[in-house]
Structure 1
Amino acid sequence: MTVRKLQQPRGWAFSFAVPIVKPLLLATTRRDWHGGEKLPVSGGFVLVLNHVSHVDPLLAAHLLYDHGRLPRYLAKSGLFRNRLLAFFLRGAGQIPVHRASSSAVGAYDAAVEAVRRGECVVVYPEGTITRDPDLWPMRGKTGAARIALATGCPVVPVGQWGAQELLAPYAKVPHLVPRKRISMLVGDPVDLSDLAGRPDQRGGRAAAVQQATDRIMAAITGLVEQVRGEQAPPERFDMRRGGAQADEHHQDRKDTA
């Protein structure tokens, strides 16, 4: 497991959080990380992961921090309603996303600018914790692809598994004992070079964004298959078609968690 020293200033928010959060993660998880050397040492890039638990962002931050990078997240705007939490999140450089509003465009612009400044922007392309009954990656949203095509930056996929044992999907009470194994496999950057600069006419740009999104989700799913040692379903779960059934399934999981 490659470990790198942090090169960039971590700021007051990370200086406050790291001494608290990192020892807690080390006490409750066992790291099974592979491919960390594929994370760029410098320069802007987008990190994309599958989403299985509300604790995922902390674990991704742990992976990045121990490889010398700081994460910038596209965070749900609801997290910023608490003034104290909002003060901390902004201090850590996190980007609020107001869904289904004009502010979502501002979040996209902020993410693009962060990448151009040489930062790592973390995106969960599914947009929410997976609703797939077996926790496989769902159909992805296009945000990560649009950021990548706008900037030409690398898109580095990660397949992760184990966070759901620490905190089950949509549960509120974590299971801290015994320590949970967190498997993270970093893959090669997703090749989107042939899609960059696609003309925005006759749906060309929209098609390029969708193709890029499909490649990103395929890369993530392939990595998840490796860390799970299983094969994913041939068709990814689509919330637009199966959301109600998934809501019922995950409510059952929450009730028994």
Structure 2
Amino acid sequence: MTEPRPEAQYTFRRRGGDALSPDVRVYANIVKGAILGLSKRSWSGMEHIPLKGPAILVWNHYSDIDPILVVHYVYNAGRHPRFLLKESIVRVPVVGAILKRAGQIPVKRGSAEAADSLRILEDQLAQGHVVIMAPEGTVTKEPDRWPMRGKTGVARLALESGAPVIPIVQWGALGIHDRKRDPKFKLGRKPVTVRALPPVDLSPWRDKEPTRDDLVEVTDRIMEDLRAGLAEIRGQEAPPLFDPRQQRTEESGSSE
């Protein structure tokens, strides 16, 4: 007997994952229809995403539209992903209502609510959901689109919740849309690779009160796993983790 493949088909979801309300299924299928027409997908690693229970999914964020490609992948992996959104996005007519109905979480940057965002995500994990985070907090500033050093929020969330951290690496989104070069979407199906990796080994830091240095080390470990996975799908040697703060310091020093 041939064993079933661990991967979902590109059109259908893995069975046994999160239940969805009918309206969320409709919204998801509308988005999927658009993405299916724009991307020629190469997907792998879905067996690393658990069908049940909490998990923190992290991805290399290098373009405006790669969150949609990652959400498509996670949806087909059988999960209903939750992530934080700028409050301005959920104020957009129709779109905002759909996102909130789908369980996404609006946050005001710089507000007390934003400072409490980790508690919100930890509550989602406690309910058995999966959350998606870009550890850098924004599109990477690395000139060649490699991951840069992340913020420590994902490390704190992982250590406090105990949830596994699963990297998702992806490449190809700029073939569909690159705001810096052309604001228009490119027609035709462009190659897109998305791959989930095994959970990050955080055992050296589990079961103890983390220090600031611990949080930095955990964050770097997560970003290094993302960098290594991206190097594999890009077929290139990855540079050291880019640190935009160090670059600003160097540029400031050179201008004096």
Q: Distance in 2 between matches of 1:26 and 1:221?
A: 27
For 2:249 and 2:31, the matched residues in 1 are separated by 35
What are the residue-to-residue correspondences of 1:14-53 with 2, within 5 Å? Answer: 14-53=24-63
Say whether the 8 Å CA contact 2:83–2:105 is kept in structure 1: yes
Tell me if structure 2 keeps the 8 A contact 1:127–1:140. yes
Taking the aligned partners of 1:73 and 1:120, their CA distance within structure 2 comes to: 9
Cα shift at 1:80? 2.4
Deviation of 1:197 after TM superposition, in Å, equals 3.4
Q: 1:220 aligns with which of 226, 240, 247?
A: 226
> 2:186 is aligned with what amino acid?
H
* Deviates further, 91-100 or 31-40: 91-100
Name which of 144, 149, 159 aligns with 2:169.
159
With normalisation by structure 2, the TM-score equals 0.86
Aligned pairs for 1:148-227 (under 5 A) are 148-169=158-179, 172-177=183-188, 179-199=189-209, 204-227=210-233
1:13, 1:58 → 2: CA distance?
18
Instruction: Give the match for residue 84 of structure 2.
Output: 74
Q: Which amino acid counterpart does residue 108 of structure 1 have in structure 2?
A: L
Amino acid at match of 2:183: K
Q: Provide TM-score, normalisation by structure 1.
A: 0.86
Structure 2 counterpart of 1:113: 123
Of residues 2-11 and 43-52 in structure 1, the stretch that sits farther from structure 2 once superposed is 2-11
TM-fit CA distance, 1:169: 4.8
The match for 1:230 is: 236
Identity of aligned residues (%): 37
Letter in 2 for 1:142: T
1:240 to 229, 240, 245: 245
Task: Report the more deviating stretch, 40-49 or 23-32.
Answer: 23-32
- Residue 95 (structure 1) aligned to one of 77, 91, 105: 105
Within 2, Cα distance between the matches of 1:72 and 1:127? 15
Does 2:65 correspond to 1:55? yes
> Residues 148 and 66 of structure 1: is their aligned pair in 2 closer, same or farther, counting only changes over 3 Å?
same
Give the drift of 1:26: 1.3
Could you say if the C-alpha distance between residues 237 and 227 of structure 1 is closer, same or farther in structure 2, counting changes exceeding 3 Å? same
Q: Structure 1, residues 136-173: CA drift from partner, whole Å, max 9, x if none?
A: 11111122211111110000001110012111155632
Report the Cα offset of residue 61 of structure 1.
Answer: 1.3
Structure 1 position 11 matched with structure 2 position 16: no
Give distance in 1, aligned partners of 2:146 and 2:23: 33
Q: CA RMSD in A?
A: 2.2
Gap runs ≥5 in structure 2? 1-5, 9-13, 252-256
Q: 2: distance between equivalents of 1:27 and 1:190?
A: 33
Give the residue type in structure 2 aligned to 1:224: L
Distance across 2 between alignment mates of 1:194 and 1:239: 27
Change (3 A) 1:231 1:113: same
d(CA) in 1 for partners of 2:248, 2:83? 25
